[in-house]
């Protein structure tokens, strides 16, 4: 990975060279090379945010873009990127991790595109490919959090993982007849339907769970009152996520390279955090959203019981 100066560089105008690696994430026209494959909204093969919105604390855009309905993507223009970047750096202090309950990132994108308001800045596919769907200046409606303001202060990544839908017994959404994972000599392998495999950038990729729990393979822990049983994310997803976290921090320094930590239990708690809105760093959807009936906000559990918080924490502290 190429380390850059503390201040992210401005993109040089002009066409890209054919062989230039596509490794950069962007905010207000600034780019940071994260050293792993990124397909951005303005590049071939991209996935474009279906429903961007303006953040209410940022002022370098038409304020009508803060509200529904969604307008054509070309209408989401940043008027003064330098000033916009200063506002964005003050505003955003959380990078929220999600599982997408989908087979692949393209599958997730289809579902979000069917919604009149949902989206996510990033998708992280099984093969480690990162998709950035819009400039981080924009808001995406991915996690309202219990105070309804979660999207204003955050950027989000939806990571491909079926969560409990991978277990036939719990597959109320995808209605699987057999578990989606099977044990092989190499580990627990996700059986991708042929049509879904074609959606991967690396079509020969073997989607193995990075870790397994005992003989059964899947992890099981209680999160916000629900027992979540799921297989792990892939090794490629962890490797790319660590780079993505560093890149988001480099662009938006208030997103500190830290995850929630309970010093007494000596581990990352899984439930909604007290003071969740003030946390500055990288955290899960479940950490900000235990559910708020008065506001009609649902209880959330992602990135789930299998997510390796210890690995992320150790990687980011190095
Ligand atoms: Zn979520």
Chain centroid, CA 209 distance in Å: 18
pLDDT in tens, 76-134: 999 999 999 999 999 999 999 999 999 999 999 999 999 999 999 999 999 999 999 99
Residue range 210-214: average pLDDT?
97
Q: In this predicted structure, what is the pLDDT of residue 7?
A: 52
Residue 5's pLDDT band (cuts 50, 70, 90) = very low
Distance 55 CA to ligand 1 centre (A): 19
Q: In this predicted structure, what is the pLDDT of residue 239?
A: 98
Domain boundaries, given as residue ranges, for the chain: 9-162+233-317
Rg of the chain (C-alpha set): 19
pLDDT in tens, 12-49: 434 444 445 589 999 999 999 999 999 999 999 999 99
Distance 156 CA to ligand 1 centre (A): 9
Q: In this predicted structure, what is the pLDDT of residue 288?
A: 98
Distance 112 CA to ligand 1 centre (A): 12
Q: In this predicted structure, what is the pLDDT of residue 97?
A: 98
Distance 219 CA to ligand 1 centre (A): 18
Distance 116 CA to ligand 1 centre (A): 17
Distance in angstroms (rounded) separating the CA atoms of residues 246 and 121: 16
**Is pLDDT of 58 > 90?**
yes
User: Residue 138 contacts by C-beta under 8 Å, 6 or more apart in sequence?
Assistant: 49, 52, 53, 54, 55, 76, 121
Distance 158 CA to ligand 1 centre (A): 7
Distance 6 CA to ligand 1 centre (A): 30
Distance 230 CA to ligand 1 centre (A): 15
Residue range 163-190: average pLDDT?
96
Phi-psi region of 280 (alpha: psi -120 to 50; beta: other; left: phi over 0): beta
Distance 262 CA to ligand 1 centre (A): 22
Q: List phi, psi (to 5°) of 139.
A: -95, 145
**Is pLDDT of 284 > 80?**
yes
Is 27 in contact with 42 (CB distance < 8 Å)? no
Q: In this predicted structure, what is the pLDDT of residue 17?
A: 45
Statement: the pTM of the whole predicted model exceeds 0.85: yes
Distance 118 CA to ligand 1 centre (A): 11
pLDDT in tens, 147-166: 999 999 999 999 999 999 99
Q: Counting Cβ atoms within 10 Å, is residue 128 exposed (0-12), middle (13-18) or buried (19+)?
A: buried
Distance 100 CA to ligand 1 centre (A): 7
- Six token digits for residue 308: 């390796």
Q: Tell the CATH superfamily of the 9-162+233-317 domain.
A: Peptidoglycan recognition protein-like (3.40.80.10)
Percent of the chain with pLDDT over 70: 93
Distance 234 CA to ligand 1 centre (A): 18
Residue range 231-260: average pLDDT?
98
Residue 318's pLDDT band (cuts 50, 70, 90) = confident
**Is pLDDT of 3 > 80?**
no
Q: List phi, psi (to 5°) of 234.
A: -85, 160
Distance in angstroms (rounded) separating the CA atoms of residues 17 and 26: 18
Distance 185 CA to ligand 1 centre (A): 32
Closest of 228, 193, 202, 206 to residue 301, by C-alpha: 228
SS3 labels along the chain: CCCCCCCCEECCCCCCCCCCCCCEEEECCEEEECCCCEEECCCCCCCCCCCCECCCCCCCCCHHHHCCCCCCHHHCCCCCHHHHHHHHHHHCCEEEEEECCCCCHHHHHHHHHCCCCECCCEEECCCCCEEECCCCCCECECCCCCCCCCCCCEEEEEECCCHHHHCHHHCCCCCCCCCCEEEECCEEEECCCHHHHCCCCCCCCCCEECCCECCCECEEEEECCEEEEECCCEHHHHHHHHHHHHHHHHHCCCCCCCCCCECCCCECCCCCCCCHHHCCEEEEHHHHCCCEHHHCECCCCCCCCCCCHHHHHHHHHC
Distance in angstroms (rounded) separating the CA atoms of residues 239 and 234: 9
**Is pLDDT of 210 > 50?**
yes
Is 216 in contact with 223 (CB distance < 8 Å)? no
């Amino acid at each position: 990975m190429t380390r850059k100066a503390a201040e992210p560089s401005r993109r040089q105008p002009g066409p890209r060279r054919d062989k230039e690696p596509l490794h950069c994430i962007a905010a207000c026209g600034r780019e940071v090379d994260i050293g792993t494959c990124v397909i951005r909204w303005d590049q071939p093969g991209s996935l474009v945010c279906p429903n961007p919105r303006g953040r209410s604390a940022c002022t370098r855009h038409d304020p009508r873009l803060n509200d529904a309905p969604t307008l054509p993507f070309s209408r989401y223009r940043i008027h003064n990127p330098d000033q916009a970047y200063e506002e964005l750096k003050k505003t955003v202090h959380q990078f929220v991790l999600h599982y997408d309950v989908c087979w692949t990132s393209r599958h997730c994108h289809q579902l979000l595109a069917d919604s009149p308001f949902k989206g996510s800045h990033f998708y992280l596919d099984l093969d480690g490919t990162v998709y950035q769907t819009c400039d981080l200046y924009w808001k995406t409606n991915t996690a309202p959090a219990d105070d309804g303001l979660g999207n204003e202060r955050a950027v989000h990544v939806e990571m491909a993982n079926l969560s409990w839908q991978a277990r036939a017994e719990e597959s109320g959404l995808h209605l699987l007849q057999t578990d989606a994972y099977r044990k092989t000599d190499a580990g627990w392998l996700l059986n991708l339907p042929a049509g879904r495999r074609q959606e991967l950038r690396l079509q020969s990729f073997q989607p193995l769970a990075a870790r397994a729990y005992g003989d059964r393979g899947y992890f099981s822990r209680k999160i916000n009152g629900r027992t979540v049983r799921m297989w792990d994310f892939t090794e490629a997803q962890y490797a790319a996520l660590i780079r993505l976290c560093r890149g988001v921090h480099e662009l938006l320094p208030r997103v500190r390279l830290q995850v929630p930590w309970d010093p007494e239990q000596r581990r990352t708690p899984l439930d909604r955090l007290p003071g969740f809105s003030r946390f500055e760093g990288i955290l899960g959807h479940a950490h900000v959203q235990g559910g708020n009936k008065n506001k009609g906000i649902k209880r959330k559990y992602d990135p789930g019981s299998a997510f390796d918080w210890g690995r992320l924490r150790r990687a980011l502290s190095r």
